[in-house]
Amino acid sequence: MAEDLTIITGNKTEQYESLIPQLKGLLDGEPDLIANLANVCGALKEQFNWLWVGFYLVKDDELVLGPFQGPVACTRIKKGRGVCGTAWAQAQTFIVPDVNQFPGHIACNSTSKSEIVIPIIRNNIVVGIMDVDSIEFDQFDETDRHYLEAIVELIDF
């Protein structure tokens, strides 16, 4: 496995298209979940330089902070709370263009302006979520939804 990521400039689609084969290479043959989640965060942070990208894992009916890149974050989120807990409860992706407009948004970092949360579903059960935060309003769109949903599918849970 090559440890160096190739980072490209270009539009969002080009950036994801460049990253996905590299993510497959990083994940290939590695069975350890934490190692894989950590590398996915590292690769996404390196390519896109978002404020925060990371995972929360469902444990004992709470979301518990997993591997991430970015500022320190809240460690536990209850079902239905914030964007993450809502994406878990409803088992669907949430794109939040302005976090101030999302009722119950949990502000782990005051500089976060927009957010996307993707549930990770295995055997019809949400086992965790991927959360991405940006310092820009309206950072995330259907392109991000498409590719980030594909990326979480690459990870064996």
List contacts with ligand SME (CB under 6 A).
52, 73-74, 77, 82-85, 105-106, 108, 112, 115, 131, 133
Give the residue with the Cβ less far from ligand SME, 22 or 140: 140
Q: Which residue is nearest to ligand SME (CB)?
A: 82
Q: What is the DSSP letter of 58?
A: E
Give the residue with the Cβ less far from ligand SME, 22 or 73: 73
Alpha-carbon span 45 to 51, nearest angstrom: 8
Q: How far is the CB of 115 from ligand SME (least distance, A)?
A: 6
Q: How far is the CB of 85 from ligand SME (least distance, A)?
A: 6
With beta carbons less than 8 A apart as the criterion, state whether 67 and 38 touch: yes
Residues in contact with 49: Cβ distance below 8 Å, sequence separation at least 6, in sequence order? none
With beta carbons less than 8 A apart as the criterion, state whether 58 and 126 touch: yes
Q: How far is the CB of 137 from ligand SME (least distance, A)?
A: 14
Give the residue with the Cβ less far from ligand SME, 72 or 125: 72
Q: How far is the CB of 70 from ligand SME (least distance, A)?
A: 7
Could you tell me whether strands 125-134 and 52-59 are parallel, antiparallel, or unpaired per DSSP bridges? Answer: antiparallel
Alpha-carbon span 11 to 18, nearest angstrom: 11
Give the residue with the Cβ less far from ligand SME, 21 or 80: 80
